[in-house]
Structure 1
Amino acid sequence: MQKAADDLMGASSEVVQGCLNTPNLLRDLILQLIKDFQTAQIPLPLDAEVAYSFEGLCEHLVQVIELHLDKGGTLKNLLNRVDLTEKQIRKMIPNQLNAHLRSLAELIIKRELQKVVIRYWYRQTSENS
């Protein structure tokens, strides 16, 4: 499970969608996204009871981020809260972050899903001990 969590950052859309088809993972991912966006002071109107697709989540995040940037906001707090490294961002988005919001949304979802999967893995490990 730990290896699977590590591989999520480079995973295809299909692999991520497979994870999202697991109801508890999707719910916990949405709750994690809401929490981290709120901490970065960016409202994220998602419903933890809705079965979002990976594509749907990406589109939703792009809209929210665009609106935030249009209002003069920055992404520094969000990127720090999500815990995306500069190396991860540069690898996926070599220039002009604002021009590649779709790629950024994918990175955010994958990193947040990675957090959720790691939490599950540690929970299962401690329950089996």
Structure 2
Amino acid sequence: MYVAPLNTEHLLAEATKENLYLNLIVQINKDFNLANEGVDFPVTITPEALQLELQEKIYRLIQHKFAEYLNLLYIIDVPENDIKQLDGSDIVALSSQVAFLILKREWQKVWFRNYYRSV
């Protein structure tokens, strides 16, 4: 049964435990490329490095390419209500929170695809 992760560390640990971490990286790369915000996270990237690099990418998008940032959120299908609940006064904190929401949505896609493939 799908259980929403509480934080980034929990999410990445769960993905690793279920042997779906590679699928998560592939899904992130795919959706970023669909949004024309090419990233190419290597499949060998550690969970900690993925978290940091994703947060940095979001930070740069918020700072310099806001329309593209909004498009990315739309492509990934991050719930609008979740974004609206965030406090945007600190961009570093905001980028961390948005990175978690992106990971959470991407993890949802990967988990459900895997679960329903095996049912």
Question: With structure 1 as the length reference, what TM-score do the two structures score?
Answer: 0.76
Whether 1:114 aligns to 2:108 is yes
- Paired residues, what number? 117
Deviation at 1:31, TM superposition (A): 0.6
Partner of 1:123: 117
The reply to whether residue 77 of structure 1 matches residue 67 of structure 2 is no
Q: CA-to-partner distance for each residue in 1:48-100, whole Å, 9 max, x for gaps?
A: 2x1421x3222101222233344434211100111111112223x13358451
1:18 CA drift (Å): 2.1
CA distance in 2, matches of 1:27, 1:79: 21
Stretches of structure 2 that go unaligned for 5 or more consecutive residues are none
RMSD, matched Cα: 2.2
More displaced 10-residue stretch of structure 1: 32-41 or 67-76:
67-76
CA distance in 1, matches of 2:38, 2:25: 13
Is there any run of 5+ residues in structure 1 with no aligned partner, and where?
Answer: none
Query: Which residue of 2 is the match for residue 43 of structure 1?
Result: 38
Change in Cα spacing, 1:119 to 1:69, as seen in structure 2 (3 Å) is same
Aligned to 1:60, which of 53, 65, 87?
Answer: 53
Q: Give the direction of change, closer, same or farther, for the CA distance of 1:12–1:73 in structure 2 (3 Å limit).
A: closer
User: Given residue 124 of structure 1, which amino acid in structure 2 is its aligned partner?
Assistant: S
- TM-score scaled by length of structure 2: 0.82
Q: Does 1:30 pair with 2:25? A: yes
Which range is displaced more, 61-70 or 72-81? 61-70
Aligned-pair identity in percent equals: 28
